[in-house]
Structure 1
Amino acid sequence: MLKKLLALAAVAAIGTTGALYAPSFDYQVGSLPASTSLDVKARDLSLVCPGGLYQSGGASGTKLGSFISVGTPEMASQFNGPDGTELVESDGVYTVVDPAGIATQGSALLNVGQIQLGKTSSISGLAGTACQRPSSDIWLSGGDTTTGHEALLILRNPTAVDATVDLEIFTEGGAIDAAGLNGISVVAGKVTVLPLASLVPRSSGFVTHVSAKGGAVAAWVQQRNVNGLTAVGVDYISPSAPASKESVVPGIFIRGVALAKKLADADEAYADLVTTVRFFNPGNSVATVTAQIMGSNSKTFGTVIQQDVKPGAMVDVPLTELADGDYVALVNSNTDVLVSVRLPRVVTGSAPDFTWLATADLSLTERKITVPASGLTKLCTYNLVTKEIRVTRVTPNATLTIPASTEQVAAVLIVDINGAVANLPVLDQKNLSGKVSVSVH
């Protein structure tokens, strides 16, 4: 018995030693397949428009939490697709159907903008915006919820998938902490309108970051102002170009400075009729910002702003010393910042209006934009290399081209209808194609 036990122990020891000291091997059955590079077609280009301006209170104007779209915007668009593509429009969503993926995407293929002149008892002014390519990440620099100022966040989901939106809102004091910022539902094919006063009440300035999961969305802030019972301006705040150390805001066409001062002296509710630059610092360190406000000719003297902006905060700087004229804001910072400009418009015989100018797109590719049929429209461009500002009156319904170049050019359309003002940014929106590496095991 003892001999059997010793034999078993020896076998066990040999087995253990084999497990500890046996060499390791990699096993492969068959040959390892080579990866294949596949071209992936870009998603069909869709541009989404906000539609008619939203009126609070429903049809009666008294129903709390109800928002209805009123009026019909004027569309300005051009489609220039090759054979085999077609443009499909449905309720303000413009889609280039391109089964073979043969079209080169961008504004030369499709550009769409809208303007709308508000003429109701509660909405007065001209609102304009470029229609957007849906995204999961959008920054909106502008807005005011103090007395007499209404800011509505418009979220439109043109996809077939429900979207869930989270918001970050930043004021002069930094990021706000409020119930209702997260988990906002935007149903597939629908629009959600959210009054921002419920999240950031009585705030004279803020920046909104929209993050979407599920379906991509388009987003705007509709800003509407009233003075007592008198409507005094409306506009869309459009998405900003990404934060950058170098930004340009063209199209600062200042009009009616003397009249605005006279109104403000008589009624402090008009104190915001001053052109104002908004800086936002999304980073983690203090931004030291220098902004040169440059006039288009020798008769328009500009100014220079130097401003420190705390991390995660925004600052408004009024341009109180500028006379009537055409200007461009050139901004440099030691860290990336967002820049926007609130531009009031005051003319004799009309209620005041305003527009929010976003940081311009500085693409080197060719860009096209179509001029609205209504109003007096001017194209303002600034060349970052030649330092040249150009202001050109353009023909209604014309399609304008900013040529492809190695020189960055900022551009915007400023539209005026009987003293009301709006802007249409010049963008080159596209979905990207590419290559993926695929291995089948």
Structure 2
Amino acid sequence: MSTETTGGRRVLRRVATVLTGGALLAASAGVAVGGDLWPVEAQPVAETVVPVAATTLLQVCPGPPRLATEVAGQDLGYDEFDPEGSGTTTLVEVVSVARDGLAPAPLRLWPGLDADAGDDVPSGGQARVEQAADTREATVLEAEPVDGVVALAAGTSVALTEAGDLRGLVATACQSPATSAWLVGGSTEPGDSTQLVLSNAGDTPASVTLSGWGSTGALDLSTAGTVLVPPGGQRVVLLEALVADPRPALHVESSGGSVTAVLQDSRLRGLVPGGTDVVAPSVAPEEAVVVPGIHLGATSGQDLDAPAVRIVNPGEETATAALVLLGAEGELAVPGADELVLDPGAVVDVSLAGLPEGAWSAVVTADRPLTASAVVTTVGRAGEDDPGTAPVDRAWVPATAALSTGLVALPGELVTAATLVVANPATTAVDVELVPVLRDGTRGTPVTRTVEPRSSLREDVTALGEDVAAVELHAAQEPVHASVMLTARGPDGALMSAVPLTEDPATARAVTLAPAPASLG
């Protein structure tokens, strides 16, 4: 451990000690005078946020989806199973944007987890923008701090498969490695495949342990043991080889090194594709979580393919939860979801079939910490081989952290539309500024929108300017939750995938040393 790091921790301990002492003195709420206790005016304890020293920002962009048979080392060799698919087109888009008075952070893109170095991305003045096409493995984004401030950067990887077993649009934000990830989504029933993809871009091995929950409670994942992910390497775990469950949820914990973790969810309805997407991490369990960007439309699936909100209770006590949707006109009650009872370790899917079309956000509140995600679906046109079964594509939307500043990269070449949804679960209106970042490295004209209390805002980000490569979001009064739904046109119907906004790392890495203001006395 470096002297600088140790000294920094000593400073934090001293600050925390001073704050704690001050809080205790204030809590006494009185002064002894002549043997009597005289009350004094209660003083609020202000929230103290200390920024962490700026370091290099590193994010991992997942590679394209793969067949479960490829992971298992099998080659079926039957045309009807289409083991090779019909071809997948891939693209990674990365961007770093300038903060006030600073240059955009130096940005590099590594072709693979074990690459020695990446190519420097040139600056356009206010941003650095780069694309990498035909990526066949995980890609690493690296951004250096500028003048002691961590970079504001983000990336999005996208894979488009128009036909075959992996038919679908798969898009996900590049992730910063972590020691914990909550993954809520997928299915391991017959015909379904859920692959846990672990990536280690660090210099030390990472030992990963898995905890899981499902439709009847905690899942037995002991046969997976401890998964060792080597430095610069990747490990894929087939969950269907461990357990069969229609609605799994996982907690991934890593020691020795940090990793990124996603689930690849792919399904078949007989020989007809039932959708492929990546499940990105949701927020850690809390008593209130928000899932922004749930799109319900005329082509949404029904029955087993109906849109739904998945809620997991990882605790050892029964939880009572409520689910509502926030839309353009305010709050919408979900029938039967005002008092959901979740047994310890249980996972439930709340169907959204039959609800009004539109862009919604889900708010789940409970008396115990929970986490959640949502899945939305779109049904295409049946083909000649099986005229009775239409293909389906699905998009998983994670529960997100609240953010005041966020950024999302937009891979324009592979998608036809990008729709931003901003959720405001607060009881007061919030003004948000949307700033388009153009592919030439300049910023377009900002626009300001008001998100009404307990509602969601829908914005076509491609209409914010010509050749938009990314969008910055800045919330004024209260933090918000946001994601972008990407859509593409396939030969037999629309395809879709959701990408949550990346929180400003300067805010995400800050440490809170005291609670929010509260009166003591």
Provide the rounded CA distance (Å) in 2 between the counterparts of 1:187 and 1:140. Answer: 21
| Corresponding position of 2:314 | 282
Aligned match for 2:420, one of 375, 379, 404: 379
- Displacement, 1:362? 0.8
Q: How does 1:124-203 map to 2 (within 5 A)?
A: 124-201=167-244, 203=245
Structure 1 window deviating more from structure 2 (37-46 vs 72-81): it is 37-46
Normalised to the residue count of structure 1, the TM-score between the two structures is 0.79
Provide the rounded CA distance (Å) in 2 between the counterparts of 1:76 and 1:360. Answer: 21
| Corresponding position of 1:391 | 458
SS in 2 for 1:180: helix
SS in 2 for 1:62: coil
Whether the aligned pair in 2 keeps the contact of 1:168 and 1:181 (CA below 8 Å) is no
Does residue 1:428 correspond to 2:471, yes or no? no
Deviations 1:237-270 (A, max 9, x none): 000012111122121111235x745xxxxxxxxx
Whether the aligned pair in 2 keeps the contact of 1:292 and 1:303 (CA below 8 Å) is no
Does residue 1:414 correspond to 2:485, yes or no? yes
Task: Say if 1:43 and 1:61 are closer, same or farther in 2 by CA, change over 3 A.
Answer: farther
Deviations 1:282-315 (A, max 9, x none): 2232111011124434998864612111122211
Greater Rg over alpha carbons, structure: 1
- Displacement, 1:128? 1.1
- Displacement, 1:160? 1.1
Provide the rounded CA distance (Å) in 2 between the counterparts of 1:36 and 1:416. Answer: 49
Deviations 1:381-433 (A, max 9, x none): 12223223211111153422221433131111011112101000012153747
Letter in structure 2 aligned against 1:324: E
Provide the rounded CA distance (Å) in 1 between the counterparts of 2:353 and 2:105. Answer: 51
Provide the rounded CA distance (Å) in 2 between the counterparts of 1:179 and 1:68. Answer: 32
Deviations 1:350-389 (A, max 9, x none): 73100111112212x3112122202211111122232232
State the percentage of identical aligned residues. Answer: 24
Aligned match for 1:54, one of 66, 71, 74: 66
Provide the rounded CA distance (Å) in 2 between the counterparts of 1:61 and 1:129. Answer: 28
| Corresponding position of 2:434 | none
- Displacement, 1:84? 9.6
Letter in structure 1 aligned against 2:359: D
Q: How does 1:252-271 map to 2 (within 5 A)?
A: 252-256=294-298, 260-261=301-302, 271=303
- Displacement, 1:113? 1.1
- Displacement, 1:147? 1.6
Q: How does 1:60-79 map to 2 (within 5 A)?
A: 61-62=75-76, 71-79=88-96
Provide the rounded CA distance (Å) in 2 between the counterparts of 1:400 and 1:234. Answer: 26
Normalised to the residue count of structure 2, the TM-score between the two structures is 0.67
- Displacement, 1:85? 5.0
Task: Say if 1:287 and 1:239 are closer, same or farther in 2 by CA, change over 3 A.
Answer: same
Whether the aligned pair in 2 keeps the contact of 1:295 and 1:301 (CA below 8 Å) is no
Which 5+ residue runs of structure 1 have no aligned equivalent? Answer: 1-34, 262-270, 435-441
Deviations 1:124-183 (A, max 9, x none): 011111110000111101110112111010000000111111101111222222433331
Provide the rounded CA distance (Å) in 2 between the counterparts of 1:302 and 1:308. Answer: 15
Letter in structure 2 aligned against 1:416: T
Task: Say if 1:62 and 1:433 are closer, same or farther in 2 by CA, change over 3 A.
Answer: same
- RMSD of aligned alpha carbons: 3.0
Which 5+ residue runs of structure 2 have no aligned equivalent? Answer: 1-8, 13-50, 78-82, 112-138, 383-389, 427-452, 512-521
Provide the rounded CA distance (Å) in 2 between the counterparts of 1:119 and 1:282. Answer: 37
Provide the rounded CA distance (Å) in 1 between the counterparts of 2:328 and 2:380. Answer: 21
Provide the rounded CA distance (Å) in 1 between the counterparts of 2:97 and 2:185. Answer: 33
Task: Say if 1:214 and 1:318 are closer, same or farther in 2 by CA, change over 3 A.
Answer: same
Task: Say if 1:298 and 1:407 are closer, same or farther in 2 by CA, change over 3 A.
Answer: closer
Task: Say if 1:304 and 1:410 are closer, same or farther in 2 by CA, change over 3 A.
Answer: farther
